[in-house]
Chain A
Amino acid sequence: MATPLEGRTVLITGSGRGIGREVALLAGRLGANVIVNDPGVNVDGTGGDQGPAADVAREIVGAGGIASANFDSVASAEGGENMIKQAIDAYGRIDGVVHVAGILRDRMIFNMSEQEWDDVVAVHLTGFFNVVKPASVLMRQQRFGRIVGFSSASGLVGNTGQANYGAAKAGIAGMARCVARDLGRYGVTANAIGPGAATRMTQTVPDAARQMRSRAGVQGAGGPATPESIVNRLREPRYVAPMVCYLLSDQAWDVNGKVFNVAGGVVSVSWDETPDRTIAKAGMWELDELQALVPQMMAGLRNPAPPPPDLDLPGRPVTQEATA
């Protein structure tokens, strides 16, 4: 097997299980020195277990690769710094940072506690800062680096019950776009992945929730994939790994500031959130002008969670069905 990551040292957060594990295993096979980070917590962030990270590191080494395990939490600045320090101490450099670590605390916004918000934002979004900041100092100096953040359709498209997770995940894409511009000139790239795979994390979304969303006409990410579909057969997390390892490789030197969706054998590049349709006036808009023109601009674009027909709603034209 070719070893395009030979001599490179990469840190993969949350690589004790799921997608992170597959990225770590493939990076190890491709020749990289891998820091396998995972505190081994439950999906909600509780608990802790050194087993998963140690097992993955052992598996890489057993296959003839180079790896060492790290059990720090990405939610603290010290944790992030420790991971980078371990890379330097063990292998003399840090070339790639892939932030896969994440937890879930799903709750509808009107029931979401401050703790649920804080914990999720701390692990995902501030966690990305905690590893990228110390790595960026070294990557800038060595004029080489690869940064890959894990975003999600929950934030890029939107999903019910995930205000904390969706905000953090969309934030990761935003941070990748900014860091790409901060570091691109120094030979460093930063990109984000919106992954799709069946893992321990997606198992926490109950089928009942999916069915409820579907009945209420609420468009959600992470909808049901029928067992028969080819895409579903390709739901194993290992299918996400090749694109991540490609982004870590020298070949991807000019791939920067982009958001990719990767699920099964599908790889997409996302639209930048640029203007799609525009109305313009050389002056101040009046509200009645906007009332006339905005609906035209929005024609064909669906409300992702429309109010039920029996809800008495000011502004909505009274239809025959509603009055019947």
Chain B
Amino acid sequence: MGALEGKVALITGSGRGIGRGMALLFAKEGARVVVNDPGVNVDGSGGDAGPAQQVVDEIKKAGGEATANTESVATAAGGEAMVKQAVDTYGRIDIVVNTAGILRDRMIFNMSQQEWDDVIAVHLKGHYNTIKPASVLMRQQRYGRIINFSSTSGTLGNTGQANYGAAKAGIAGLTRVIARDLGRYGVTCNGILPGASTRMTQTVPDSARQLRQAAGVQGAASAAPVQQSAYAGLREPEYVAPMVAYLASDEAWDLNGWLFNVSGGAISVAHHPTPMRTVFKPGLWELDELDDAVHNVLLRGLDNPAPPRDDVEVAGRDVPAKPLA
């Protein structure tokens, strides 16, 4: 018997990439799956019912149960329709996996309101749009699994992704709150920080990675893990699926409110952004005291992720600015 036998799962953005890998594994483990994907391009434009239907066909061919949904997660109506389809088709909703996402990368000083709004709508509000209606039912049935997709672009930071990073870090925060809202009702909520080569990561040009590296800017989507770790070097999106399926299973009843890095065969639980180093004064700090405490205690050994270029004259920097070669 599969680990998800009898469960009904909604997986957003499961027409391709990581979402697809999870839909296939969930079905193999016995879940009935609502395969949601409007089949848009990475930037959110277009639309194609093909990808979701193809995954459904693949699941059915292997003897599983699935139904396709092509709503957009960016609207409350879309999220409600997905949960409704699960209930109408299979009588319940046990698992919601929020994978759907788009990219509109741009440096902050060039980012348009539209680029900000669209990315926040699909990722962050998209999570609210499915979780809200599902949470009502999960609370009533005293059972549920919610698995969200965050990203190191937000939890660590990345250039050109103020919209995406804000949304993804917001999803991490949302995950921690939902875990506390619903834990007592037998519902868990966790987040995944995935690593995989998909259509989405292909949009990050190699030239951008090289530019970041040359500028000394630490990026989240660096190619470093591939060289560093044979485990994380397995970049196929299917490798993300087992941990998510485990979190969706009954056995994971007590795992709640965590973020897991999942990339290839490597699985980590991430630090919460709780205090790491602390200074205390029983009174008001002076700025000079803070300068000392910040540099010599709090940030000792920690890098500036994007130091000012050598040719920038920086007020406060002791060394004189060097002219460009």
Write the residues of chain A forming the contact surface with B, with a CB cutoff of 8 angstroms: 2, 4, 30, 77, 108-110, 112, 114, 117-118, 121, 125-126, 128-129, 132-133, 136-137, 140, 143-144, 154-164, 166-175, 177-187, 216, 218-220, 230, 234, 238-239, 242-243, 245-246, 249-261, 265-287, 290-291, 294, 297-298, 301, 303-308, 311-316
Listed in ascending order, the chain B residues whose CB lies under 8 Å from chain A are: 3, 29, 76, 107-109, 111, 113, 116-117, 120, 124-125, 127-128, 131-132, 135-136, 139, 142-143, 152-186, 193, 215-219, 229-232, 234, 238-239, 242-243, 245-246, 249-259, 261, 265-287, 290-291, 293-295, 298-299, 302, 304-309, 312-317
User: Is there an interface contact between B305 and A256, defined as CB atoms closer than 8 Å?
Assistant: yes
Measured between beta carbons, the chain B residues less than 8 angstroms from A178 are 108, 153-154, 157-162, 164-166
Q: Which of A170, A257, A294, A311 has the most CB of B within 10 A?
A: A170
User: B169, B177, B231, B315: which contacts A175 (Cβ < 8 A)?
Assistant: B169
| Docked CA distance A172–B174 (Å) | 12
Distance to closest chain A CB from B208 (angstroms): 12
Contact check, A307 vs B186: say whether CB atoms are below 8 A apart.
yes
Separation of A170 and B272 alpha carbons in the complex (Å): 11
A174 x B168 contact (CB < 8 A): yes
Whether the pair B256, A174 counts as a contact (CB closer than 8 A) is no
Known: A169-B173, A280-B231. 9 other contacts (CB 8 A): A112-B128, A128-B166, A159-B177, A166-B177, A185-B217, A218-B184, A268-B276, A269-B276, A283-B265
User: Provided the pairs A174-B157, A177-B165 are in contact, do residues A185 and B308 lie with their beta carbons within 8 angstroms?
Assistant: yes
The docked-state distance in angstroms from the alpha carbon of A30 to that of B290 is 15
Which residues of B have CB within 8 Å of A156?
Answer: 173, 176, 272-274
**Cβ of B267 to closest chain A Cβ, rounded Å:** 5
Q: Contact: A184 with B120, CB < 8 Å?
A: no
**Within the assembled complex, what's the spacing in Å between the Cα atoms of A174 and B163?**
9
Residues of B within 8 A of A164 (CB): 128
Given the complex, which residues of A lie within 8 Å of B117, measured CB to CB?
A: 126
B residues near A161, Cβ cutoff 8 Å: 177, 181
Contact of B183 among A128, A261, A305, A316 (CB under 8 A): A305
Contacts of B243 in A (CB 8 A): 285, 290, 294
Nearest CB of A to B30, in Å: 11
- CB of B109 within 8 A of CB of A129, answer no
* Contact between A160 and B181, CB atoms less than 8 A apart: yes
Is there contact, CB below 8 Å, between B269 and A297?
yes
Query: Nearest Cβ distance between residue B173 and chain A, in whole angstroms?
Result: 2
Is the Cβ of B109 less than 8 Å from the Cβ of A174? Answer: no
Whether A181 and B217, one on each chain, are in contact in the complex, defined by CB atoms closer than 8 angstroms, is yes
| Beta-carbon contact of B271 and A274 below 8 Å | yes
Residues of A within 8 A of B158 (CB): 177-178, 181
Residues in A neighbouring B231, C-beta threshold 8 A: 280-282
Are B180's CB and A185's CB within 8 A? no
A125 to B272, Cβ gap below 8 A? Answer: no
Looking across the interface, which residue of chain A has its beta carbon closest to that of B160? A182
Name the one of B116, B274, B280, B294 contacting A126, with C-beta atoms under 8 angstroms.
B116
Contact across chains for B255 and A303 when beta carbons are under 8 A apart: yes
Identify the 9 closest CB pairs spanning chains A and B, nearest first: A174-B169, A170-B173, A184-B306, A305-B183, A158-B176, A177-B157, A171-B170, A315-B250, A155-B173
Could you give 5 example pairs across A and B, Cβ below 8 Å? A160-B181, A166-B174, A173-B273, A174-B153, A305-B179
Q: Inside 8 A of A143's CB, which chain B residues have their CB?
A: 308, 312-314
Nearest-Cβ distance from residue A120 to partner chain B, whole angstroms: 11
Q: How far is the CB of B33 from chain A (nearest CB, A)?
A: 16
Q: Would you call A170 and B185 a contact (CB within 8 A)?
A: no
Task: Point out the residues of chain A lying under 8 angstroms from B153, CB to CB.
Answer: 174, 178
Find A311's partner among B186, B270, B306, B307 (CB 8 Å cutoff).
Answer: B186
A285 CB contact (under 8 Å) in B127, B180, B267, B271: B267
Chain B residue with Cβ nearest A233:
B282
Residues of B contacting A266 with CB < 8 Å?
A: 278-280
Q: How far is the CA of A315 from the CA of B143 in the complex (A)?
A: 11
A167-B124 contact in complex given A175-B165, A242-B286, A255-B299, C-beta closer than 8 Å: yes
Given the complex, which residues of A lie within 8 Å of B3, measured CB to CB? Answer: 287
* Distance between B265 CB and nearest chain A CB, rounded to angstroms: 4
